[in-house]
């Protein structure tokens, strides 16, 4: 009995709530007014239109790094000519200090300067006191400038020479083969000649970035938009 009374009370309360909500909806839905359920749609459309102008920057739309500005070719040519002139003036006056070079010799690269000593293990067909020229020069450095090859510097730009001061035999290299409980043992020793060279006995920059003379068929000034050859 109590359950039936409670069910009737709930049905009456729910009916009153539904009728009150329907009356409020009919009261607000007058001519010229928008229904209440259109407000969320209007707000969502305004929110979407405002977000269209706030697109995040990604790597797909625009790269994160700044735009690369290429140098002006005319300005680069003028700056190149100025650097060439300054380097040639230092070389002509002999104000380049102590030179050093990176050379490729006997399968290795060596950083050398005047009166340096290096030891190589390759066998060279040269005699003691003989002077040789190292033609594979990768780099020459001074106090105020550095010359880099691409990959080598020209033979007319720099000259590196060395003098062989000693040719001796190296320590014996022993090759030992042994097998236990097999009565097998072999021993071999090998001697190699190792010339010791003074690198370089003479190191000097002959000419750097100098333009051809007029008697060679070209002007002494760099051409428009061109560069000097290393």
Q: Which two tokens stand for residue 105?
A: 């010799």
Q: What CA–CA distance (Å, rounded) separates 60 from 129?
A: 67
Q: Would you place residue 116 in the very low, low, confident or very high pLDDT band (cuts 50, 70, 90)? A: confident
Distances 59 to 24, 27, 68, 117, 215 between C-alpha atoms, Å:
53, 54, 16, 54, 57
Query: Do 113 and 134 contact (CB within 8 A), yes or no?
Result: no
Query: Do 161 and 201 contact (CB within 8 A), yes or no?
Result: yes
Percent of the chain at pLDDT above 70?
A: 57
DSSP assignment of 54-119? -PPP-TTTS-SSPPPPPPPHHHHHHHHHHHHHHHHHHHHHT---S-EEEEEETTEEEEEETTEEEE
Residue 139, strand partner residues: 102, 148
Average pLDDT, the chain: 72
Please write the tens of the pLDDT for every residue from 95-114: 888 889 999 988 899 999 88
Please write the tens of the pLDDT for every residue from 47-81: 555 555 566 666 666 777 788 888 899 999 999 88
Domain chopping of the chain, boundaries? 73-208
Please write the tens of the pLDDT for every residue from 181-226: 999 999 998 877 666 655 555 555 554 444 333 344 444 443 343 3
114: left (phi over 0), alpha (psi -120 to 50) or beta: beta
> Is the pTM above the cut of 0.95?
no
């Amino acid at each position: 009995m109590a359950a039936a009374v409670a069910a009737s009370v709930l049905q009456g309360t729910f009916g009153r709530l539904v009728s009150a909500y329907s009356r409020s909806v009919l009261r607000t839905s007058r001519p010229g007014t928008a229904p209440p359920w259109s407000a969320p749609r209007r707000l969502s459309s305004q929110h979407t239109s405002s977000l269209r102008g706030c697109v995040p920057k990604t790597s797909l739309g625009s790269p994160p790094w700044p735009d690369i500005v290429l140098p002006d070719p005319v300005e680069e040519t003028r700056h190149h000519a100025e650097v060439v002139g300054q380097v040639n003036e230092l070389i002509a006056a002999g104000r380049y200090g102590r030179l050093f070079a990176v050379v490729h010799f006997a399968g290795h690269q060596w950083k050398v300067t005047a009166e340096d000593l290096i030891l190589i293990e390759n066998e060279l067909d040269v005699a003691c006191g003989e002077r040789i020229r190292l033609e594979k020069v990768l780099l020459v450095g001074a106090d105020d400038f550095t010359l880099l090859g691409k990959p080598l510097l020209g033979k007319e730009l720099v000259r590196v020479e060395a003098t062989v001061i000693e040719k001796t035999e190296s320590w014996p290299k022993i090759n030992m083969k042994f097998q236990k409980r097999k009565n097998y043992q072999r021993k071999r020793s090998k001697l190699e000649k190792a010339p010791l060279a003074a690198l370089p006995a003479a190191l000097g920059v002959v000419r750097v970035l100098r333009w051809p003379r007029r008697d060679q068929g070209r002007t002494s000034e760099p051409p428009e938009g061109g560069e000097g050859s290393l």
